[in-house]
Structure 1
Amino acid sequence: MKLYNSKKDKELYYYFNAKKEKLWCYRHRYYDALGKRREKYKQGFKTESEAYRALLDVKANTLNGNVKQVENSNLTVAEWLDIWYETHKNDWKVTSRKQRELAIKYQMKPLLGKYKLVELDKTTYKRVFINKLLEKKYKPSTVQLFHRLFKVAINAAVDDEILPRNRFNKISIPQDDPKDNFLTAEELSKLLAAAKEHENDTNYTFIFTLAYTGLRKGEALGLQWNNIDFNAKTITVERTRDNKGIRTPKTKNSYRTILIDDIAIAQLEKYKKWCKKIKLLFIFIIYIRTHSFNGSINYE
């Protein structure tokens, strides 16, 4: 393909494609961080002005030392997500790593993977990612989680000097309906009554403890008897546990001591007497069913 020089800039050219259409391109030569000579080439611009603006952006980036932005201009979102995950996966807790792996595989890549990382704009992101997830009937809080995870990946690209900034901040996402996030007193009473009638002592006390303390299930599963002070009527959270193992709490604020009432103390004392027969390290242990309680509460 023969290139013809533009009069506007020595690195700007025009050419004719197979359909004899006149198109524009640029070829910018620069030195990378190691002093090696490089060339950035891009074609397919329909006008000289469009090609010239793109060339000026490339020149500005190389002059300002933003060579990585130039070299990675063709990097797709999918490619960056793979780089980000493989680079940082060993820095994350097991649950965070699995959460990010699944979000990349099932939400981010299918909806955003084909876009070039440097070209994905805020409007497109809102339209093809946030709105599409909401249309798929994900809860707003779940969509907010995917959005936060994507911003973490973008912040890593900024730290790596591939992007100049994170343009996906300040995106509005609806809030969950508060009515969907808790049980009424009547509903909770029915749940506890059903659990007491149909479940064994461990299952019932586990559900009872969650209801009366507000602990997360992983926090409750991590409790040992020395975490309960029956005289002071407190529970101290200092670890979490699930089918992936035992870990420290996710944040400093997750380490805490909470007060519990007489009803909760009475149930836990009753359960402790039953547990003395088997002498296990953790308060809540189950032997036969290790998958879930009613399909939602995982413990072992």
Structure 2
Amino acid sequence: MKLNKSKKDPELYYYSDTKGKKKWMYRHKYYDQYGKRREKKGRFNTEKEAYQALLKLKVDTIRGATKPVEFSNYTVAQWFDTWYETYKHNWKISTRTQRESAIRVHIKPLLGSYKLSELSRSTFQKEFINTLLNDSKKPKEPSTVKSLYSIFKIGINSAVEEEIIPRNRFTKLQIGIEKNEEDKKKDKNEKKKNASKSSLKGNYLEAHELNKLLVKAKKILNITNYTLLLTLAYTGLRKGEGNGLCWNDIDFENRTLTIERTRDNKGVRPPKTDNSYRIIVLDESIIDQLKTYKIWCKKTLLAFGRHLKEEDFVFISYQTGRPLSDNTVNNALDRVIKKVGIKRITPHGLRHTHATILLNDKENRSTVEDVAARLGNTPEEIHKTYHHILQERKKETATLFTELVSSAGN
């Protein structure tokens, strides 16, 4: 039987069985507890199955189940695959996603073939850091490269802890040109300024535009999409917070909404910040719509043979009775915007719309602190994001003072 090496791993092979079908196997060499050289084999129908089994075996090797023949032959790609498969369930979903992407898109393509024990600082600097910074097609920002460098160091530190290599040779490397403190301060201030501009950047509606949007949404959207859009617009919730709402988060009697989770295509997790945990007071019109929607949900779930539970997610698909997918509200919002003929905003733009309408109130009935508490932000974040609106508010306050003094003299 002729074995052909796979490109994925030097211990992974493919071959043809007696019927001519392509099969896969691994051959993993190691020393047993008595110091005798051994080999483990496994046969599989697909490359994926064989590769996953081989990785598991290597994980067992790292944990001490067997002694490897030579750690010196480990490549960077082999180690980072093993590291990821071993520890991924210990990481948050966002961390897991970030590290998987860094390994697949950057670390393995640029460094995968190098032996872990032989990769030098200078080679790493040249082949990884400099390549990313000076990519002719799409050079990476120094901040992005620093983030990828940080992930690489974490993986290498783990290899040191597992005694695969003696030490981490890749610490304290410089990313880009080192700037003095004054330039760093300028860059920081400019970054803050640009961040506040880009986060808003016209991504909100005026009050009359929002009214048109919601009137049209009620006419053309199904009840789930309309209720979700209405809730986002009238509460300032983030999209993930809206998708993460459960029925027991809504207190119909006291007209409040409790935010304690977010949900997207990566799963359910805690809110963005500590300030994001909050209780929002609801308007009577939202309460009425949610009551109507809850009745619809009960009927819909019954049609699928299920009963509504208080811990169920609020917004469900009329087609399946399951929680809405992450992008459903985006598509619904785009559809309504096209029908109304107003500028395009994202679901996050409804959050900005909520804030700008409150801050634009001529009677100043909502303070910055009120808006911050409602959105789950700090007052400083509100000042940064809605700076231009607050500046106009100050001008109007000065004008109001003049008008009041003048009218008192007449």
Distance 1:112 1:192 in 2: 51
In the aligned structure 2, how far is the partner of 1:188 from the partner of 1:149?
36
Q: Distance in 2 between matches of 1:214 and 1:169?
A: 41
Aligned to 2:259: 236
Q: Report how far residue 267 of structure 1 moved.
A: 5.9
The secondary structure found in structure 1 opposite 2:259 is: strand
Q: Structure 1 residue 282 and structure 2 residue 303: aligned?
A: no
1:107 maps to which residue? 106
168, 174, 194: which one pairs with 1:165? 168
The unaligned stretches of length 5 or more in structure 2 are 1-30, 37-66, 177-186, 299-307, 332-345, 348-410
Residue pairs, 1:87-166, within 5 angstroms: 87-92=86-91, 96-118=95-117, 119-121=119-121, 123-124=125-126, 125-129=128-132, 131=133, 136=138, 146-163=148-165, 164-165=167-168
Alpha-carbon offset, residue 178 of structure 1: 1.1
> SS at the partner of 1:187?
coil
Shift of 1:195: 5.5
The 2-side partners of 1:225 and 1:93 are apart by 25
Q: Distance in 2 between matches of 1:137 and 1:214?
A: 35
Counterpart position of 1:72: 71
Counterpart residue number, 1:14: none
TM-score by length of 1: 0.54
For the residues of structure 1 that align with 2:210 and 2:149, how far apart are their CA atoms? 35
Pick which of 136-145 and 101-110 moved more: 136-145
Paired residue for 2:302?
A: none
Going from structure 1 to structure 2, the CA distance change for 1:259 and 1:180 (only over 3 Å counts) comes to: same
User: Closer, same or farther in 2 for the Cα pair 1:166/1:203, shift >3 Å?
Assistant: farther
Pick from 249, 255, 259: which aligns with 1:227?
249
Q: Per-residue deviation at 1:152?
A: 3.2
Aligned-residue Cα RMSD (Å) equals 4.7
Kept in 2, the 8 Å contact 1:223–1:282? The answer is yes
Give the superposition deviation at 1:84.
0.9
The structure where helix makes up a greater share of residues is: 2
Q: Residue 205 of structure 2 aligns to a residue in which SS?
A: helix
Matched, 1:182 2:181: no
Q: How does 1:12-27 map to 2 (within 5 A)?
A: none
**Mapped partners of 1:97, 1:134: distance in 2:** 29
Compute the TM-score of the two structures, normalised by the length of structure 2: 0.42
Q: What letter corresponds to residue 224 of structure 2 in structure 1?
A: T
Deviations 1:233-260 (A, max 9, x none): 452314x44456x645389x66963143
1:271 to 289, 295, 299: 289
For structure 1, list consecutive stretches of 5 or more residues without a partner in the other structure: 1-31, 38-67
Q: 1:222, 1:282 within 8 Å by CA — same for their partners in 2? A: yes
SS of residue matched to 1:235: strand
| Counterpart-to-counterpart distance in 2, 1:248 and 1:95 | 9
Q: For residues 149-195 of structure 1, give each alpha carbon's deviation from its aligned partner in whole angstroms, at most 9, with x where no partner exists.
A: 434322322321334137356765898751575124x5312695686
- 1:62-88 residue CA offsets vs partner (Å, 9 max, x unmatched): xxxxxx9xx534432211111112222
> Among the aligned pairs, what percent are the same residue?
34
Q: Does the aligned pair in 2 maintain the 1:155–1:166 contact within 8 Å?
A: no
Give the direction of change, closer, same or farther, for the CA distance of 1:82–1:117 in structure 2 (3 Å limit): same
Q: Report the secondary structure of 2:199's partner residue.
A: coil
User: For residue 25 of structure 1, what is the aligned residue in structure 2?
Assistant: none
